């Protein structure tokens, strides 16, 4: 089984592109399967309750067909950043204690591993297209623990994450935080997107990572990913 993994910050189009690639490969007679594999904590409801905030203003504007102006954007970003800063303060307080950091690390890695194990029995395709995967988990947790991606990855590399199947193609769809925010508008703050962008940029120099310019049109991105994957499959005599 060939594993293709798409990653990048919120708004880069991972889900859209992963599904488009899966559909394309299936149309070419290559049995392919889409899998969303971001970590969803088993205590997600508790975390959501702690993060609760007023109704998302950007969604309200969308639902009421209100046009986005520079003023509206500034107000939305200010509101989202304020909520992000409040939630960050709570997380920083919790993660400031070593006991909590150790407990969280054990819980998070094993909880994600069990989610992974739960998904794997259904994988039966020639090509598996992953929308988010273990590196997204590493990025999220490195931000929680306020460590560099490299340091966190080294710290967990000999734990249960090493049991995850390695991707054959690791594809990063690269966009700016501003582009991601304008595309997504789901309440994710610009401040958080900027932190994610810095974390994802740390892997750009890795030899196993293929960079796709996410500022292109949806179709152009699809063609770039499609060509990359089909070239790889031809090399492996899978076509």
What pLDDT, on the 0 to 100 scale, is given for residue 81? 55
Domain containing 218 — which CATH number?
A: 3.40.50.300
Secondary structure of the chain in HEC code, one letter for each residue: CEEEEEECCCCCCHHHHHHHHHHHHHHCCCCEEEEECCCCCCCHHHHHHHHCCCCCHHHHHHHCCCCCCHHHHHHHHHHHHHHHHHHHHHHHHHCCCHHHHHHHHHHHHHHHHHHHHHHHHHCCCCEEEEECCHHHHHHHHHHHCCCCHHHHHHHHCCCHHHHCCCCCEEEEEECCHHHHHHHHCCCCCHHHHHHHHHHHHCCCCCCCEEEEECCCCHHHHHHHHHHHHHHHHHHCCCC
**CA atoms of 57 and 153, how far apart (whole Å):** 36
Q: Is the CB of residue 203 less than 8 Å from the CB of residue 221?
A: no
Q: What domain range is 80 assigned to?
A: 2-235
- CA pair distance 159, 127, nearest whole angstrom: 26
* Confidence (pLDDT) at 57: 47
* pTM attached to this predicted model: 0.82
Contact 45, 35 (CB under 8 A): no
The pLDDT score that the predictor gives to residue 185 is 81
| Mean pLDDT for back-to-back runs of 10 residues, the chain (239 residues) | 96 96 97 95 75 52 52 62 65 86 94 95 96 94 91 89 94 95 85 92 89 96 97 85
Per-residue pLDDT, 4: 98
Q: Return the pLDDT at 33.
A: 97
Sheet strands side by side (includes 127-131): 32-36, 127-131, 2-7, 169-174, 209-213
Asked whether the beta carbons of 115 and 43 are under 8 A apart, the reply is no
Looking at the chain, how many residues does it have? 239
Q: What is the pLDDT of residue 127?
A: 97
The pLDDT assigned to 102 comes to: 92
Q: What is the pLDDT of residue 70?
A: 59
What pLDDT, on a 0 to 100 scale, did the predictor assign at position 54?
A: 47
- How many domains is the chain partitioned into structurally? 1
Q: What is the pLDDT, as a whole number, of residue 85?
A: 61
Q: What is the pLDDT of residue 189?
A: 85
| Cα(74)–Cα(57) distance, integer angstroms | 12
């Amino acid at each position: 089984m060939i594993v293709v993994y798409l990653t990048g910050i919120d708004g880069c189009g991972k889900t859209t592109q992963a599904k488009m690639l899966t559909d394309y490969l299936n149309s070419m007679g290559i049995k392919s399967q889409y899998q969303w594999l971001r970590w969803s904590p088993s205590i997600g409801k508790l975390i959501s309750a702690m993060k609760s905030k007023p109704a998302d203003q950007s969604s309200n504007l969308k639902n009421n067909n209100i046009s986005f102006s520079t003023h509206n954007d500034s107000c939305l970003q200010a509101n989202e950043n304020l909520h992000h800063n409040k939630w960050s303060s709570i997380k920083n307080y919790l993660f400031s204690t070593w006991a909590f950091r150790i407990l969280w690390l054990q819980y998070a890695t094993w909880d994600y591993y069990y989610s992974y194990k739960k998904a794997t029995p259904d994988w039966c395709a020639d090509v598996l297209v992953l929308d988010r995967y273990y590196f997204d988990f590493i990025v999220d947790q490195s931000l929680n623990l306020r460590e560099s991606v490299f340091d966190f990855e080294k710290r967990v590399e000999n734990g249960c994450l090493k049991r995850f199947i390695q991707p054959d193609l690791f594809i990063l769809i690269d966009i700016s935080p501003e582009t991601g925010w304008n595309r997504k508008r789901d309440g994710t703050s610009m401040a958080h997107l900027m932190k994610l962008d810095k974390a994802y940029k740390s892997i750009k120099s890795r030899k196993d990572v293929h960079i796709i310019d996410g500022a292109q049109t949806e179709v152009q991105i699809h063609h770039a990913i499609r060509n990359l994957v089909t070239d790889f499959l031809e090399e492996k005599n899978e076509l």
